[in-house]
Amino acid sequence: MLPVKGMVLFVNVDHAVVVGRPRSLAAIAQAASSEDKSILVLAQRNQEAVDPAPDELYEIGTLARIHRLERHADDLVSLVLHGATRVRIRKIDTSRPWMEAEYDMLPLPDDSSDSIEAMYRDIMDKAHELEGIGAEGWAKGIAARVLQALKDPLEQVYALASLLRLDVPMQQRIHAAPTRAEAVQLVHEAIVHEVKVQVLQLEIAQQAASNVSAEQREYMLRQQMEAIQKQLGEDGGAGDELADLRSEIEAAELPPEPAKVAHKELDRLARMQPASQDYQVALSYLKLIAELPWNRASADNLDLAEARRVLDARHYGLGEVKDRIIEYLAVRKLNPDAASSILCFVGGPGVGKTSLGASIAEALGREFERISLGGLHDEAELRGHRRTYIGAMPGRLIQALRRKGVNNPLIVLDEIDKLGRDYRGDPAAALMEILDPSQNRDFRDNYLDLSFDLSKVFFVLTANTLDSIPGPLLDRMEILRLPGYSEDEKVHIAARHLLPAQLREVRLTADQIQVPEATLRAIVRGYTREAGVRELNRQLARVVRKCAVPFASGQDTAVSVTADQLKTLLGAERFSRASLRENALPGVVTGLAWTEAGGDVLFVEAVKTPGGKGLTLTGQLGDVMKESAQAAFSYLWSQATALNIDPALFQQSGVHIHVPAGAIPKDGPSAGVTMATALVSLFTGRPVRADTAMTGEITLAGLVMPVGGVREKALAAHRAGITRVVLPHANLQDLDKLEPGVRAAIEFIPATNLQQVFAAALAG
């Protein structure tokens, strides 16, 4: 047990104590050697007692933990105690070199009422009022930090009570109060009294200073400040720095509100000591205001032909996206005050979403900045931290504008679908204001705390999928889908962009390492299967590196890579254009699926299970996909006679449907047509054509409903060497934007009902 003078340790409050009495030092040594470092803290009734007796101590104290302990050379120990819980002392033992006590836990009271809530709110208002007055011990922001650190209102009241200059009996009454109502009432009376005293003291000081004119007072203070700085050797540097900063602020041509705040902060900064922490905080804030591009903007390049040339030079294909950029430039040319667009590029990895943003910036003649949102959890990363926090800084948007020096850059917000959300806030909610043209004209960063116009910024967002983006945020964007590249487009991109870039990496020329179009096509077909071109770029890098080895050894003979050499350079082909199921048994059907990485080909397998019953589904299928299988099974059973299937087959054996690969989760309604065809093939004994794939949702009436991602699925079928695709009739319009080469290579068969699907898919 540790008796203390002049203070009461409240629950969940930290308090620094200096100890020098022998009995107290012995108690601290015992507590410090224990595992949990706990010690009982009791306030003395008699503040003059050097070695207090048990009856000179209060019976209600605090069980505390030693957080920090430091020994000094003069037999003193300083420590920081953290109050854990209230206790009531039963018995005190003084027979040892230290004091020990037996105690009972005394939980905090939990009563509540409207009057308690009213007094609690008034206490918080009075605490903020003391901050505004500048009362001793009430630094600006201290009440907010107390509220943030403690969740229980009673513990918050205790913490505020520890900041008031109360005598020990009053502190003990608050600590020992049996009800919340009594504790809150006591603190309320104390803080109301403190506010009255501080207000009166402030009025007296103001009256005393009113006899001196403002000019005289400022002159006297500046003379005193200069004299102090000369004595400290600090004159010269700070004055020059402030003069330069004042000149920068004048040259920045600030709007009225920032100008007013900047000059006010400058005057306050001039009265601070350069060595103080607040000086550096205020200086950094003023530098931010001076460096932000309040009225500086770059001129847009409104030459439509030149913009088209830049886009075509940087990216192959993507006609829809390029047309949209030209439309934007045309509108800007006709109406320079038009609001900036907010484009969202959606597509698989490696299709060029981020690099397309850089190309747009080059075409517009704007500054380019990329901000990655992947894994971002803290809203303050976008809105900034308030200046009351240590190490506060502006949000990423304000920092980007500061770096670029213009208020109309093109900013790519990358991977918006990967945003996180936790106790630190929801960044997606902050983006709703940032991306809304009707709101971002008055965007307020928490650190800057001034309105900044973001409406001139051209925002481009990228995502692999839209599923995880909140609806209200999605509503503020214009969605442009990048479905992926066809084989011809990949060959062109490889020859025009990827291969030259890889040759530059090894500092060789196209004359030294030649990769013909046939070889590029063989790499695309045999070693890649993706919507984008990242894997293609990696394979080209491997080829170039292997061909560069002889040149590093002194060879100067040009190398031409043929398709036959790829097996040596890259190993065996990873993918085959031929169908994987050329000799498929009845019940096996090729389907088309959409994934975040673009379209893909999957197989649905169905077998009879003699002696079994019903439908068994495997392959990590989602609920929607399971329901599609059940709907297909029910439809076939109901239409068995019309399909020349013996209805008894449905009762004699069960059916097992499996969708490889079993380790990958799958879901969605678009496999309904594929599952129905697999079941028909199984029960009729007719195999499905190996060159045919299909997609579509079904109903119990046998109708084929439209699905999404048809363009991506068509590209996947083309990559897999499939030449016939059965799809819903309503999805024919989705083929209008498909590349001519893909449309020519695949026969698209529209279907409105399952009868048409079966007729097109079943052999014979």
Write the DSSP assignment of 308-342 as a string of letters: HHHHHHH-SS-HHHHHHHHHHHHHHHH-TTPPPPE
Q: What is the pLDDT of residue 209?
A: 62
pLDDT of residue 737: 77
pLDDT digit string, tens, across residues 624-651: 888 999 999 999 888 888 888 888 888 7
Please say if the pLDDT value at position 30 is more than 80: yes
DSSP-assigned letter for residue 494: I
Confirm if 266 and 297 have CB atoms less than 8 A apart.
no
Q: In whole angstroms, what separates CA 305 from the centre of its chain?
A: 38
CA–CA separation, 590 vs 694, rounded Å?
7
Least confident span in 330-339, 366-375, 490-499, 694-703: 330-339
What is the 8-class DSSP label of residue 369? E
Instruction: Give the 3-state secondary structure of residue 475.
Output: coil
What pLDDT does 67 receive? 87
Residues 303 and 69: their CA atoms lie apart, in Å, by 71
Cβ atoms within 10 Å, residue 174: 22
- Burial 614-646, CB ≥16 within 10 A → b, else e: ebebebebeeebeebbbbbbebbeebbeebebe
- Percent with pLDDT over 70 in the chain: 93
| DSSP label at residue 82 | E
Q: Can you give the three-state secondary structure of 627-671, one letter per residue? A: HHHHHHHHHHHHCCCCCCCCCCHHHHEEEEEECCCCCCCECCHHH
For residue 375, what is the DSSP state?
Answer: T
Under a CB-based contact definition with an 8 Å cutoff, are residues 726 and 749 in contact? Answer: yes
3-state SS assignment for residue 92: strand
- Cα–Cα distance, 329 to 323 (Å, whole number): 10
C-alpha dihedral, 420 to 426 to 431 to 433, nearest 10°: 170
108 DSSP assignment = P
pLDDT at 647: 83
Q: Comparing 150 with 725, which gets the higher pLDDT?
A: 725
Evaluate whether 19 touches 76 at the Cβ level (below 8 Å): yes
| Pure H helices in 467-613 | 471-474, 487-493, 499-505, 517-527, 534-552, 566-570
Q: What pLDDT was estimated at residue 578? A: 46
Q: Is the peptide bond prior to 642 cis by the omega test (within 30 degrees of 0)?
A: no
Residue pair 457/407 in contact (Cβ under 8 Å)? The answer is: yes
Who's near 432: CB < 8 A, 6+ residues apart? 472, 473, 476
**Would the pLDDT of 313 be above 90?**
no
338, 332 contact by CB (below 8 A): yes
- Tell me the average pLDDT across 302-307: 86
Per-residue pLDDT for 210 more than 70?
no
- pLDDT value for 597: 61
Binned at pLDDT 50, 70 and 90, residue 219 comes out as low
In this prediction the pTM is: 0.60
Active site residue 713: yes
pLDDT in tens, 664-680: 777 778 888 999 999 99
Q: For 688, which DSSP code?
A: B
Measured CA to CA, the distance from residue 297 to residue 292 in angstroms comes to 11
DSSP string, 405-454: --S--EEEEE-GGG---BTTB-HHHHHHHHT-TTTGGGEE-TTT-SEE--
Residues with Cβ within 8 Å of 675's Cβ and at least 6 positions away in sequence, in order, are 589, 604, 606, 628, 629, 632, 657
pLDDT at 266 over 70: yes
Name beta bridge partners: 463.
346
- Is the pLDDT at 653 greater than 80, yes or no? yes
Mean pLDDT of the chain: 85
Four-point Cα dihedral 527, 528, 534, 535, nearest 10: -40
Rounded Cα distance, 535 and 721, in Å: 19
Neighbouring CB atoms inside 10 A of 541's CB total: 16
CA-to-CA distance for 504 and 541, rounded, in angstroms?
11
Distances (CA, A) of 455 to 158, 288, 423, 668: 47, 20, 29, 39
Angle at the Cα of 332 (from 326 to 338), degrees rounded to 5?
Answer: 125
pLDDT tens for residues 539-595?
999 999 999 998 888 888 888 999 888 888 888 888 765 444 555 688 899 998 877
Res 220 pLDDT > 80: no
Q: Is the dihedral of CA 372, 377, 383, 387 positive or negative?
A: negative
Catalytic residue among 210, 670, 681, 737: 670
Report residue 477's pLDDT band, with 50, 70 and 90 as the boundaries: confident
**Residues written for the chain:** 764
**Contacts of residue 360, Cβ cutoff 8 Å, sequence gap at least 6:** 311, 325, 410, 458, 460
Mean pLDDT (whole number) for 343-352: 86
The CA distances from residue 643 to 7, 129, 585, 587, in Å, are: 92, 84, 19, 15
Determine if residue 721 is left, alpha or beta; phi over 0 gives left, psi from -120 to 50 gives alpha, anything else beta.
left
335 HSE (CA, 13 A, CB side)? 7
- DSSP 8-class letter at 107: P
